[in-house]
Structure 1
Amino acid sequence: MQKKVRRKRQILRNKTVILRSSRELFHKKGFYGTTMEEIAEYSGFDRRTIYNHFKNKEDIFSALISGILTEIAAVFDEIESEKIPTLEKLRKIVLALLDIFIENAQMLNIFMSEYEINETKKKRYISAYTLKNIHDYKEIESRLIRMIRQAQDEGLVVNVHPYVLAGVLNELLMRSVIVLHNQKGGLRKKDLIRDIFEILSKNVVTVPVQTETAP
């Protein structure tokens, strides 16, 4: 019994090291520029150990994306359960998503590219790992759409298809994060938040919305 417990703990530790190392390499070299051999070397394991835990690089990437999506789902769980106005929920969702997007910009950018390819049905191979992530993302997206629809029913948001508004919000956040990273210190997070809410207040929200800045 103790051997099984120790074995499970060792597997968990190995996976944690591999995922952390892969994440760092993806940030440094990009997903497509990183090889399984480099992941093995960077992790301090041989290739056999890597393949014992993950089938390929796409499997590793999917596990990382799955962790991010789980974090996003947890944010929705928490905010949806709060007894606060719908618009305040949307505001808190925007701020929380922005933090997650900033932390995981490169990987989410790759994933969203694959998502868009899948949605437009272009003839390109989409791995089973990515398809699983896409399914999970769609579930999260549907929660955002329901929240937007509720805000529309209350007359708080412009009467545009909620799926379109969800896409606009996602694109706004992703593009804002890209600008933030490219500025390399020239743009502060609190300025980015101000600009995002300025755009939303003038084009999406029909009532005054409170903004929140970060240091």
Structure 2
Amino acid sequence: MPSLEHQQLVARLQHLVATLPATPIIPVPWTQAEADLISAFAVFSAAACEHYIENRCTEISQEAYQKFYNAGKLGRVAKHLCITPFVNFPADDTDRDALKAVLGNPGFTIQIKKAYAVTANAELRTLLRRSEIQYKKALRNNHGIGVKHYFKLLGSIGVNVGAFDINFVNSLQLLWELRGGAAHRHIFAANLLTPTTDMQQWTTHIITGFTGLDDALTKLRKATV
């Protein structure tokens, strides 16, 4: 069943995409009023996606930390959080793609033997306390939905980001770029070339992608390896 956060995200995106002006059959320049509507779509849609990722990552990471603090349980998320918050995720696209192909993949695991988890409980507790500080900092400092932003947050808890559908990835990136123009330079009608039919297609791909991600996150909460 989709999470409440996912249901809210879908409703928000569907509302925002419905506010877009229609793409004219014969290309003509957008009016500034139409460009303003597109700006609002870009800014608020990107913010809704960002909010979803941050909220779900916060929820799932905190649940994993508390399971260890309260019951000594180390699931897949907690095992990743022993290491990943201390990793400097690469900014270079080639390096990031290489890491994406492995980190979060079901075949890639971080192993902590049960006996060690018992004998090294104090050390693991100290490590996870420091990890929690670092991961919360990453969440606070996140300011985007581009791949370099969401990869660190989702990859850190064991999500297989490399398995994301390319249409989902590309649509998020295109929305993020449009949002950048809207937020930092404002979208002027004379400079806006992307038809709103494309933005509608992005939204469809984004909703589909987040539906798959939401399911993966729900399963991840119960994963042990």
TM range (shorter): under 0.3
Larger helix share, 1 or 2: 1
Larger RCO: 1 or 2 (CA < 8 Å, sep 6+): 2
TM-score (normalised: structure 2)? 0.25
